[in-house]
Amino acid sequence: MNDPNVPITVYVAVGVIVLWCKTSKANRNIYALSPVVAMFLKNEKAKSIIELIVFLSIGCLICQGLIVPTTPAQAVAAGLGWTGLMTK
């Protein structure tokens, strides 16, 4: 599982996406991001896609910069933690 050709950021993204998909859409509200995206987009599908892309990008940057995971397991846990922490 520790393939040197796969960057740790990919594992962080997997953690984010797993918990993102596990939470129901009704329970997924990102603290500061959801209201901002809602101001610019009224289409619910486009709003969901933009939220995921922005949330995933920010999550990967923060997890890589603050937590600095060195193994795939740590990276997946960092992605799960980011999603759990920032969604309500």
pLDDT computed for residue 22 by the predictor: 84
pLDDT computed for residue 45 by the predictor: 87
Q: What is the pLDDT of residues 37-77, one digit of tens each?
A: 888 888 888 888 888 898 899 888 888 888 889 888 999 99
Cα–Cα distances in angstroms (integers) from residue 54 to residues 1, 43, 50, 70, in the given order:
27, 16, 6, 24
pTM score over 0.85: no
Give residues with Cβ within 8 angstroms of 19, minimum separation 6: 79, 80, 83, 84
Average pLDDT, rounded, for the chain: 84
Q: Is 14 helix (H, G, I), strand (E, B) or coil?
A: helix
Average pLDDT for residues 17-39, to the nearest whole number?
79
